[in-house]
Amino acid sequence: MMTIHKEGRTLLFWLLLVLSVVNYLIYYFLPDERLLFNLALGGSILFYLIILQFFRNPIFEAPQEDGIVFAPADGKVVVIEEAEEGEYLKDKRRQVSIFMSPFNVHVNRSPIQGTVDYFQYHPGKYLVAWHPKSSTENERTSLVLRDAKGNTLMMRQIAGALAKRIKWYVTKGSALQQGEEFGFIKFGSRVDLYLPLDAEILCEIGQVTKGARTPIARLKG
């Protein structure tokens, strides 16, 4: 089942209104330009459908599996490496990064059940999402989740060249269920996960992910 995400409803309403008015004006004031009208109408429908698919929101029952870290977003795994997390966790972590193209679902979901220990928004640049410095220099949020066993992981929503707006629905102390929506990145970009070094990685580079459905790692603790 699919619905339209709340982040897109107002935009889609006004876009439909504007495109309808533009096409009506072409039809009314240029009655002899049938080719122009047909091109404008076809282009408007195509453009609207492209924007519409940006805001699709699949409805499903998320799996609940203790110890399993699920993908926080639809996309493709582009990074699996050891990295230093210097903002809050202050230690070495296993980083897994998921790139969200403009054609992916843009909803971000909690990979585990836990409590938000830390949340921070950072204004920044709009480098392309695969740029090495995008994780630390782009507009982004940082969110640290702690599960019932004390495991911690960080997620970063990272804006890119097209993504100009990050939305989030949590604060420090928020409790999240596994698979629960915590944010949205308009027009796609990237989500980084910083996992414990002893986590067993269950994904591979190039793998296509589905938010809250694709296993990313298994926690040891």
Residue 121, CA distances (Å) to 37, 90, 169, 201 in order: 45, 18, 12, 28
189 catalytic? Reply is yes
18 φ/ψ angles, rounded to the nearest 5 degrees: -65, -45
Residues 164 and 203: beta-carbon distance below 8 Å:
no
* Helix-helix angle 6-29:34-54, to 10 degrees: 180
Instruction: Return the DSSP state at 50.
Output: H
Return the amino acid letter for 10: T
Sign of CA dihedral 45, 3, 99, 174: positive
Annotated catalytic residue within 97, 110, 135, 189: 189
The sign of the torsion formed by the CA atoms of 8, 173, 147, 82 equals: positive
Annotated catalytic residues are: 189
